[in-house]
């Protein structure tokens, strides 16, 4: 099960920590947390193409 963790700086200067964890049965668990924020946004994708690229993970949190 692949896993990854990285920090990306957004255009406005905020830093976001992303995590990716492969799950059994083709699923993935992904999270995003803005630096200094207690809230962690998380998504479970049950039928994801694995492994996802960093760009694919980040795209799930664009708003």
Q: What's the confidence (pLDDT) of residue 49?
A: 78
Q: Let me know if 16 is exposed, middle or buried by CB neighbors in 10 A (0-12, 13-18, 19+).
A: middle
Report the alpha-carbon distance of residue 19 to residue 39 in Å, rounded: 14
Q: What string of pLDDT tens digits covers the 63 residues of the chain?
A: 678 999 999 999 999 999 999 998 889 999 999 999 999 999 999 988 778 899 999 999 997
pTM of the entire predicted model: 0.88
Assess if residue 56 is contained within a domain. no
Assess if residue 57 is contained within a domain. no
Q: Report the number of distinct structural domains present in the chain.
A: 1
Beta-bridged to residue 18, according to DSSP, are 6, 32
Assess if residue 63 is contained within a domain. no
Q: What's the confidence (pLDDT) of residue 56?
A: 95
Residue 33 domain boundaries: 3-51
Assess if residue 18 is contained within a domain. yes
């Amino acid at each position: 099960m692949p896993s990854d963790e990285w920090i990306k700086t957004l255009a406005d200067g905020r830093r976001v920590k992303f995590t990716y964890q492969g799950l059994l049965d083709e699923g993935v668990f992904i999270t995003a947390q803005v630096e200094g924020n207690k809230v962690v946004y998380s998504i479970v994708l049950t039928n994801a193409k694995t492994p996802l690229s960093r760009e694919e993970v980040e795209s799930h949190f664009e708003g």
